[in-house]
């Protein structure tokens, strides 16, 4: 509100709401109540709920939207873009930290576990049973560089 009459009307509504809550044996969580002063010419009036002054806020979330005191959507856009922008970074960190050799070794480790009768053996024993080259030998022979 930009007039003292308007501010008084809002305070009157808050007082009536507090009275209604008391009559109906209900309590409001006053810690969650905030005042959002909209516009540049707002008189920044302080409102109270019962005996407690309500805190001011520069932005509040309402039905999933972040509304700020200038009614701009810049904060909302920044928040909306933050999560999707972080996902490629997570993927890059996960994949880039593993070399091609490690990824191939993981595939081979998993595939050898699927061979019936060898599930109980260690990875190295499964490789020996199948006649496959051990990881150390691959590195020594430079087999990974061919891929």
For the segment 80-132, what is each residue's pLDDT rounded down to a tens digit?
A: 656 666 667 666 666 655 566 777 788 888 888 888 899 899 998 999 899 88
**5 and 47 fall within a common domain:** yes
**85 and 128 fall within a common domain:** no
Per DSSP bridges, beta strands 34-36 and 55-57 are: parallel
Q: Is 133 exposed, middle or buried (0-12, 13-18, 19+ CB in 10 A)?
A: middle
**67 and 42 fall within a common domain:** no
Question: What is the domain extent for residue 10?
Answer: 1-57
**20 and 2 fall within a common domain:** yes
**69 and 47 fall within a common domain:** no
SS3 34: strand
Q: What is the mean pLDDT of residues 132-147?
A: 63
Alpha-carbon distance of 135 to 103, in angstroms, equals 12
**89 and 124 fall within a common domain:** no
Q: Are the C-beta atoms of 108 and 137 separated by less than 8 Å?
A: no
**Greatest CA separation for the chain:** 90
Q: Which residue has the higher pLDDT, 110 or 39?
A: 110
pTM: 0.41
Q: How confident is the model at residue 146 (pLDDT cuts 50, 70, 90)?
A: very low
Alpha-carbon distance of 125 to 140, in angstroms, equals 19
**9 and 48 fall within a common domain:** yes
SS3 36: strand
């Amino acid at each position: 509100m930009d007039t003292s009459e308007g501010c008084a009307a809002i305070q009157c509504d808050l007082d009536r709401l507090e009275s209604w809550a008391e009559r109906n044996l209900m309590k409001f969580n006053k810690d969650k109540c905030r005042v959002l002063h909209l516009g540049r010419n707002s008189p920044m009036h302080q409102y109270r709920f019962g005996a407690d002054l309500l805190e001011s806020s520069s932005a509040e979330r309402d039905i999933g939207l972040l509304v700020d005191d200038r009614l701009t959507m810049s904060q909302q856009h920044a928040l909306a873009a933050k999560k999707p922008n972080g996902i490629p970074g997570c993927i890059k960190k996960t994949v880039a930290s593993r070399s091609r050799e490690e990824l191939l070794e993981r595939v081979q480790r998993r595939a050898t576990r699927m061979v019936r009768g060898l599930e109980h053996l260690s990875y190295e024993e499964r490789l020996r049973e199948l006649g496959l080259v051990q990881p150390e030998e691959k590195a020594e022979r430079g087999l990974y560089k061919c891929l």
